[in-house]
Structure 1
Amino acid sequence: MSRRQRVVAVAGAAAVVGSLLAAPVSAAEPAPPPVTDYCGDQCHHILPPGQNGNATLAELAAHMLFGTRPKHSDDQIGKYDQLVPGYRELTTGTIDEFFNDNSFGVPDDQVERRYQPRADVTVVRDKTAGIPHIYGTTRSGTTFGAGYATAEDKLFLMDAMRRAGRGEVTPFAGGAEANRQLEQRFFASSPYTEQELQAQIDSAAQHGEAGKRALADAQSYVDGINTYIQQSHSGRYFPGEYVATGHIDAITNEGRIEPFKLTDLVVLASLVGAQFGGGGGNEVQNAVARMSLHERFGPERGEEVWRAFRAENDPEAISTLHDGQSFPYAQSPANPQGAAMPDRGSVIPQQLVFDPTGSATREEPDTQPDSTTRPPLPPGEISDPVAPLRGMFDDGVAPGAMAEPRGMSNALVVSGAHTESGHPVAVFGPQTGYFSPQLLTLQELQGPGISSKGASFAGLSFYTLLGRGQDYSWSATTAAQDIIDTYAVELCEPSGAPVTRDSNYYLFRGECLPMQTVERKNAWEPNLGDDTPAGSYRLVSFRTRYGPVTHRATVGGKPVAYTTARSTFMHEVDSIIGFQKFNDPGAVNSAETFQRAAHDINYTFNWFYADSKDTAYFNSGANVVRPPTVDPSMPVVSDPAFEWQGWNPADNTADYTAFAEHPNSVNQDFYISWNNKQAQDMTAAGLEMTAVQRGDLLDGRVRDLIAGGGKVNRVNLTQAMADAGVTDLRAERNLPDLLRVIDSAPVTDPRTAELVERLRAWQADGGKRTETEPGSKTYAHADAIELMDAWWPLLVRGEFEPSLGPDAYGALTDVMGINESPSGWQNGEPGLHVGQGHQGSAFQHGWFGQVSKDIRGVLGDPVAGGFDRPMCGDGDLSACRQMLLDTLRQAEAAPSEETYPGDADCEAGDQWCADSIVHSKIGGISQEKISWQNRPTYQQVVEFPAHR
């Protein structure tokens, strides 16, 4: 039976085995002893769409046929969505309408289910959201319960993710193009062998007693997962996707759910770290763009233009730390040495896919389902159960190239000196994308040495990763400082044959070594939902001592391979010690001890902390110490003189910056972060830390709250976050200056004047992307919003391309796209998708600051860190103004169907739908669309009134 036929059989099979697919009734156990909670009723949180991510076969069939959903799979999405129309009327008494209570424990009248998966642990599920509250009498029992409960809620998701992290999605779920791109992306960034994964497990014990304890916690956690797998399989209440994907027979129950191993946790950690916890690796693209500017303008002016675009330490960029602290890191030296610039036109991506057969040889199937022999699937078919994961990682670059980090989280933290209560207030959380089920899972953990509640990535939830302790709360945003460098290794041939870019030997300290190859042989059956022929291919990663090869080129005529050296490579599990401390009330009892725990995390995150007395910030990451002559933004010659200081190629360790050199602070008046610049002299890997960045939306609102002695509370700080989350950054920060240029002379054409006034009215009304009324699915100022969406790519091209030339302009857009709008389209090119459409997060990457600096330069304003001379209209105000008016009229003429192209979720031209958030299915349960909001997916609102 083919996979498609097996899925068709779901409805019929469910009727046969439906009575067997309910989890066993648990025995009533004594209530666990209470844990002291110092937050009272002032801690809240939310995580859409719902805690439950597992659906039995019967529940899948019911969803496909009748649209019903399993309990607790969608009971947080409504609260989350309603903050958009409701935030202006928010009060302390109505916070519960938009967030769930995040207190410790479950009142007796709110207990939905109480059971013991093992004698030393009790799990209590609450009625409100079905969150597992896990109480262990032993430490092992606590983490065992965490594994068991997480498998109850997210087993199929965890299974899909461990395969994605290994680059082995297609054998599990079929050879859909999205699945192939997903496994290629992860394999390119973390091509580990099973032996290397095990080596990371073995190295954990080298971290002393804390490492041994973490290893024991992880093993108990895996034991809990596997106990659930065994029980649910034999009891036939496992996720129905295993039947739908052909891994278990619906009638006979034959088949297998593979047990989890400790190495699976390493895979999941590497997946999360690669996505959210690294920065850099874009040096080849930087070099190409920089060289194109030198060719266009000559070396001197070309370098000035590059530095303006690079915005390395932009004096106009807002920083999370704003009290004058300086934390120099990853700065470009005045006279860099060792740069390995590619010869013009010589760069080619490293081949990753080999020997494709069948459906792997083409992008789309060339046959259609035969409805005469295969009946159609029920509504809501599981057409591609893990393909939606690709949206989390796709940024439009070729497989093998390093991606821009998808920074999406935010934080607003205000010290007690500026709050009504005198206690700190925080509104913060990570933005991990919108999926059904959600990648994060909620839990409370109470056991010896563990006391926490909050969110963790499913499969890594033996500790709470973001949440609260007894008297403190913490969260993080992606930092993306540069911990990934590109080295150019000279290629060689030991046989003496001519060396070419295809040579697979390289020089390492005078010796010609073979590249190590790591391979995945992937084959798949027909994709679910179509008749694509089975296919296969090999994924091959070529690795050097300096990391995986991403490109081939020539430098000065000599063939080289460009490689990525990542400081966390082979060290994915090292961060476990920091997370262990976050959960330990004995380890974290103050702002300072929290910062020390955060320093044990090698991923690049901005960490925020609040208790009843103090606030704190710390920027974590394995920040390498480079030679002072090396420019981290450019590829470097692979020579010991330019390697990281103290680098040991045997285990990829090096010298790292000390605690005091990481941006850190206690009790600054307030902290905001939306993946913006951390501190003065802290250099980011990308080009977005400039004069206009979405963190401005938070910074300005919090400053307004405390201006003139104003006081902050949970309500107005939540409102500040929500208001920023529905604001178009371009309308608030760019449009006023664009209108100043247009207003420099009268607009004589009536139609053009009407367009200008349409934009002016929207900007004056706050530049929001919100509905006319809740549920209308029509924006207020819809015409102005559409005009801006169509105008931005036209005006950016019109402003810069004439001066830069098409080659340099194109190279710079390869480094950073010009726009990251809610609907996800950029550069004005049909079919070019930035990858975040329907994912909520917007306005992180784009030329917003570059436009601002150039336009203000044309206006004659003083611009710190601006271009040497304006590019719009070649510096002529009248010519720049004419370009803006011409492109504005072009934008008005653009059909709505081009501005908002249709996709699988929306009809072409549907503006609200194009912006809307879609919870991408990883499995069989779908969710309703919700309104766009630029907001964390997991979010806390906290104010602790007391402390231990």
Structure 2
Amino acid sequence: MRPRIVRLRTLTATAALALAAGLLAPQPGSAAADEPPQDTDYCGAQCADVLPPGANGNATLAEILSHRVFGTQPAHANDQLGPYDALSSGYPSLTDDKLTEFFNDASFGVRDGQVASVTRPRDDVTITRDKKYGIPHIKGSTRYGTEFGAGFAAGQDRLWLIDLFRHIGRGELTSFAGGAPANQGLEQQFWPQAPYTEKDLEKQVEYIKSTQGERGKQAMEDAQAYVDGLNSYRVKSKNGRYFPGEYVLTGKIDAITNIGEIEPFKVTDMIALASVVGGLFGNGGGGEVESALSLLKSQEKYGVEKGTKVWESFRARNDPEAVQTIHDGTSFPYAGKPEDARGTAMPDEGSVEREQLVFDREGGAKAAVKDPVKAPKKLKPLQGMYDDGVLPADLFKEDGHKKGMSNALLVSGKHTASGNPVAVFGPQTGYFAPQLLMQQELQGPGISARGVSFAGVGMYVQLGRGQDYAWSATSAGQDITDTYAVELCEPGGGAPTKQSTHYLHHGTCTPMEKLERKNAWKPTLADSTAAGSYRMQVFRTKYGVVTHRASVEGKPVAYVSLRSTYRHEADSIIGFQMLNDPSYVKDASSFMKAAQNISYAFNWFYADSRDTAYYNSGANPQRAKDIDPALPVKAQQDYEWRDFDPESNTSAQTPPNEHPQSVNQDYYISWNNKQAKDFSTAGFGVSAVHRGDLLDGRVKKLTEEGGVTRASLTRAMSEAAVTDLRGEQVLPELLKVVRSEPITDPQQAKAVQQLDAWRKAGAQRNQTAAGSKTYAHPDAVRVMDAWWPLLIEAEFKPGMGKELYDALTAQLGTDESPSAGHGPTGAHAGSAFQYGWWGYADKDLRAVLGQPVKGELGEAYCGEGKLDACRDVLLATLTQAVAKPATEVYPGDDSCKPGEQWCADSIIHRALGGITHGPIQWQNRPTYQQVVEFPKHR
């Protein structure tokens, strides 16, 4: 079934298409011309990349309607999707010579005969696009012209998306795009994290100018030039009637009269956009109130001493069995558990209330006043410009998990066939149409890079390659967010309540700052939600934004969230500027110095012809002595971050040499796993089994064998991308337990045989042949999908009791298989096996089997630690799983019929506008990916 993209009430689709085709002129800049001269490129055609679905993310109204009626696609909207998809089946026979069948040539410039168009928005810049994929290659003779061209190209490729995200950043999405529940949910999930006023945004600009020296001034000049270029395209597209068609569908511009406006962009819009990007991918920590509640449940179940031990074993903040990026034993202590914590602010039993956000709701979609709109768990597969809203409801997390994304595989030159390092890496930013990232090449004074940038903040390439080096990142998620309990008070000296709006700051009763955002909307062609409005409200203190109310030791408090990057999301622009500067980054050492200027919590990876390197960036606050960062802290001066200044939200930070870092380790892998020994993780789940193990085992084996090539490292990534983590890492222990005695039940025996055959074949979820849409071991995969949630509950819940089990599963879901639409990532999302109880089950089962366990759980669970009883539990749940038909395991949705296994796993790009794309084979890999091997250096 094809979901509706638009709702046209007064015109038939065919008539509207004809009208739009006559009104909307073709985009200028189509005349071919000689390409601008290329800058020095040391990669020798050994750099490649891919960004599905394609470089072009804009579509005129005519193109959207043609897509809706005839299924056509705008040029370069989905031409990288096919090669990307094909790797999942084609990787076993991959060679270096075949890489370009699945990746683009990422050389600088455009080859002779491949120039599709040259646009000159100013005399000092050209935008050259290649024929194959339409990627903009921007070359400026001046710095201003280069950045102007970057902004102009961004408008050509992502104008509508940039506009959407600046409104998300400002908490104004529903007023801009309609009041559908999905849009309201996004607004209500994001705005409280960064409820900035225009003055707040302006202060960020001024802070960079005034505190970051010449580079800070240059960065803001570059940002202004970028905005100027974006606005230039905005005006020209409006006057030329080739603006994105979504502006018509949402009522911003009249298709016939051309009356309406696309609001001018400002530098502060870029700051708002940066806050969205940072909130999605570069934050870590938080959730301390929920952690405290689960700890209290554990102590209630087992008593304080044992309950704390059990909780810590599940928190696993420094699990010795966790796979690590730095695996040579080097220690980087950070955010660990103190022996005797001070200032912890545990809530009184039953006192916690989440802060109210939504008020004065009128019309539109109704929701409870006390809670934000919950994004629907089952999404329509091609969520986009139709009744359910403009944006996919699961773009932001609801369960406290950040989008921990991306992976990296790097091998030192000592272990490669060429003697030069090899890297396969990229960000896993989710599958959207268009992509959140956009491709570009920038060549100008002080800038020489090719890669991707987040749409709207593309002053510099954020992930990509320079003349003789390449870099990428994965989300690190270390703890840079703390929760403080501010004691409430009344200014007249009266008795405070949990709803008081004053708090004690250094002994003075201080008013909270009240911030509001009022939004109203009307029905549009894209969103038929009834007219409505509502108001969002948050209170801000010197320690951050209020998230909960409670009492601590009988006194009313407000829990507030303090993030080190709050009011500083744009500071990282300096680090990106350095990474694009060929006069600055010349080797691994200068790369790490550049990464030190990025305040987001990221793992950065680097490769040139001589070295590989790794550096963990982030504004890691220096906490007061003996503070436990995993739990709420009393808001008192003795417990504040060191040198904390609430006016600027700055503090002392851990010095660069204390951040995990390394040069020329034999190999590096990262898939949002633990960084290094004693570098404590910020959330639950980084335990004995992690999806990083899928990479680590394969790359370690390659390195030990030697002779690693780009193709062999890509094959390792690709195989991991279609492998079921449970089947590879936990199923062996499950089978040992159930086979500890002969299996007499025929159905159980058959299921065990199927599972074992699947395990021996690699536990993969891939097609028998390209396009077959059938798995090689469909029954084993179905049984595993049905068995896992059943066996986890039966293994742990009886021993824990319902309340503790529910509290811990609220912290970390038990399952995130590709088809698990209820998981943190949602259905059809690609990314899988990041959040789950794989490590807990593995430790528990090994203990039952009498095998050694480091960092064991605080209690035995499966059959109370008895092998026979555990076996009974597993076989009973296996019987239940076998009995579940495929239609129940894969219940279907608007994309898939019940029982369609391949379809349930498949990746579907969430539409952020009027263009949609078909499903592709599930693969757990970056959504922009580079394969690089530099043969020489400057």
| TM more than 0.5 | yes
Residue 141 (structure 1) aligned with residue 145 (structure 2): yes
5 Å matches for 1:514-533?
A: 514-526=511-523, 528=525, 531-533=528-530
CA distance in 2, matches of 1:916, 1:357: 39
- Check whether the contact 2:592–2:614 (CA below 8 A) recurs between aligned residues: yes
What is the identity percentage for the equivalent residue pairs of Structure 1 and Structure 2? 57
Q: Which residue of 2 aligns with 1:821?
A: 817
Displacement of 1:362 in angstroms is: 4.0
Which of 821, 835, 845 in structure 2 is aligned with 1:855? 845
- Check whether the contact 1:39–1:946 (CA below 8 A) recurs between aligned residues: yes
Q: Residue 778 and residue 607 in structure 1: after superposition, are their counterparts in 2 closer, same or farther (change >3 A)?
A: same
Letter in 2 for 1:800: F
Displacement of 1:390 in angstroms is: 3.1
TM-score (structure 2 length as normaliser)? 0.96
Cα offsets for 1:766-800 (capped at 9, x unmatched): 00001122112121211111111111111111111
CA distance in 1, matches of 2:270, 2:479: 25
Cα offsets for 1:317-362 (capped at 9, x unmatched): 1110011211000001011111111111211111111111112424
CA distance in 1, matches of 2:86, 2:106: 19
Which of 220, 226, 235 in structure 1 is aligned with 2:225? 220
5 Å matches for 1:191-206?
A: 191-206=195-210
- Check whether the contact 2:178–2:522 (CA below 8 A) recurs between aligned residues: yes
Displacement of 1:69 in angstroms is: 0.6
CA distance in 1, matches of 2:838, 2:11: 49
5 Å matches for 1:51-130?
A: 51-130=55-134
Residue 465 (structure 1) aligned with residue 462 (structure 2): yes
Which of 483, 488, 498 in structure 2 is aligned with 1:486? 483
Displacement of 1:891 in angstroms is: 1.3
Residue 944 (structure 1) aligned with residue 934 (structure 2): yes
Cα offsets for 1:199-229 (capped at 9, x unmatched): 1011111211000000010000000000001
CA distance in 2, matches of 1:387, 1:762: 41
CA distance in 1, matches of 2:492, 2:12: 59
- Check whether the contact 1:21–1:56 (CA below 8 A) recurs between aligned residues: no
Which of 654, 659, 668 in structure 2 is aligned with 1:657? 654
CA distance in 2, matches of 1:389, 1:937: 17
CA distance in 2, matches of 1:8, 1:761: 57
TM-score (structure 1 length as normaliser)? 0.95
- Check whether the contact 1:392–1:836 (CA below 8 A) recurs between aligned residues: no
5 Å matches for 1:662-701?
A: 662-701=659-698
Residue 644 (structure 1) aligned with residue 634 (structure 2): no
Displacement of 1:492 in angstroms is: 1.4
Letter in 1 for 2:233: Y
Displacement of 1:834 in angstroms is: 3.1
Residue 809 (structure 1) aligned with residue 799 (structure 2): no
1:650 alignment partner, SS class: coil
Q: Which residue of 2 aligns with 1:184?
A: 188
Question: Mean alpha-carbon deviation: is it higher for 411-420 or for 299-308?
Answer: 299-308
CA distance in 2, matches of 1:500, 1:380: 43
Displacement of 1:532 in angstroms is: 3.5
CA distance in 1, matches of 2:103, 2:8: 42
Cα offsets for 1:171-193 (capped at 9, x unmatched): 11111111100011110111111
Cα offsets for 1:405-442 (capped at 9, x unmatched): 11120000001000000000000000010001111000
5 Å matches for 1:863-942?
A: 863-942=853-932
5 Å matches for 1:229-268?
A: 229-268=234-273
Cα offsets for 1:573-632 (capped at 9, x unmatched): 110100000000001000000000000000000000000000000000000111221000
Question: Mean alpha-carbon deviation: is it higher for 531-540 or for 322-331?
Answer: 531-540
Which of 47, 51, 55 in structure 2 is aligned with 1:47? 51
Residue 286 (structure 1) aligned with residue 291 (structure 2): yes
Residue 306 (structure 1) aligned with residue 303 (structure 2): no
Q: Which residue of 2 aligns with 1:371?
A: none
CA distance in 1, matches of 2:214, 2:714: 41
Q: Which residue of 2 aligns with 1:153?
A: 157
1:109 alignment partner, SS class: coil
Letter in 2 for 1:236: R
CA distance in 2, matches of 1:459, 1:11: 34
Q: Residue 664 and residue 8 in structure 1: after superposition, are their counterparts in 2 closer, same or farther (change >3 A)?
A: farther
Displacement of 1:304 in angstroms is: 1.3
Number of positions where the alignment pairs a residue of Structure 1 with one of Structure 2: 919
Q: Residue 504 and residue 578 in structure 1: after superposition, are their counterparts in 2 closer, same or farther (change >3 A)?
A: same
Letter in 2 for 1:424: P
CA distance in 2, matches of 1:533, 1:580: 45
Runs of at least 5 residues in structure 2 that lack an aligned partner in the other structure: 1-5, 370-381
Displacement of 1:526 in angstroms is: 2.4
Q: Which residue of 2 aligns with 1:564?
A: 561
Letter in 2 for 1:743: R
CA distance in 2, matches of 1:888, 1:408: 32
5 Å matches for 1:445-460?
A: 445-460=442-457
Letter in 2 for 1:795: L
2:520 alignment partner, SS class: strand
Q: Residue 748 and residue 162 in structure 1: after superposition, are their counterparts in 2 closer, same or farther (change >3 A)?
A: same
Q: Which residue of 1 aligns with 2:505?
A: 508
- Check whether the contact 1:385–1:921 (CA below 8 A) recurs between aligned residues: no
Cα offsets for 1:133-154 (capped at 9, x unmatched): 0010001000100000111011
Cα offsets for 1:775-826 (capped at 9, x unmatched): 121212111111111111111111111111100000001111111111134x
Q: Which residue of 2 aligns with 1:325?
A: 330
Residue 724 (structure 1) aligned with residue 727 (structure 2): no
2:453 alignment partner, SS class: strand
CA distance in 1, matches of 2:526, 2:564: 42
Runs of at least 5 residues in structure 1 that lack an aligned partner in the other structure: 365-378, 398-402, 826-831
Structure 1 residue runs of 4+, over 4 Å off?
3-11, 25-30, 527-531
CA distance in 1, matches of 2:61, 2:322: 52
Letter in 1 for 2:395: M
Question: Mean alpha-carbon deviation: is it higher for 527-536 or for 158-167?
Answer: 527-536
Letter in 2 for 1:209: E
CA distance in 1, matches of 2:690, 2:290: 22
2:535 alignment partner, SS class: strand
CA distance in 1, matches of 2:612, 2:662: 8
CA distance in 2, matches of 1:550, 1:690: 28
- Check whether the contact 1:151–1:225 (CA below 8 A) recurs between aligned residues: yes
Q: Which residue of 2 aligns with 1:441?
A: 438
Displacement of 1:28 in angstroms is: 5.4
Which of 12, 16, 19 in structure 1 is aligned with 2:15? 12
CA distance in 2, matches of 1:442, 1:7: 38
Which of 573, 584, 599 in structure 2 is aligned with 1:602? 599
1:705 alignment partner, SS class: helix
Which of 393, 396, 411 in structure 1 is aligned with 2:396? 393
Residue 534 (structure 1) aligned with residue 531 (structure 2): yes
1:579 alignment partner, SS class: helix
Q: Which residue of 2 aligns with 1:423?
A: 420
Displacement of 1:749 in angstroms is: 1.0
1:574 alignment partner, SS class: helix
- The Cα RMSD (Å) is 1.7
Letter in 2 for 1:218: A
1:113 alignment partner, SS class: strand
Q: Residue 246 and residue 7 in structure 1: after superposition, are their counterparts in 2 closer, same or farther (change >3 A)?
A: farther
CA distance in 2, matches of 1:287, 1:806: 17
CA distance in 2, matches of 1:807, 1:456: 44
Q: Which residue of 1 aligns with 2:376?
A: none
- Check whether the contact 2:251–2:525 (CA below 8 A) recurs between aligned residues: no
Q: Residue 388 and residue 907 in structure 1: after superposition, are their counterparts in 2 closer, same or farther (change >3 A)?
A: farther
Letter in 1 for 2:168: A
Letter in 1 for 2:875: L
- Check whether the contact 2:29–2:118 (CA below 8 A) recurs between aligned residues: no
CA distance in 1, matches of 2:516, 2:368: 22
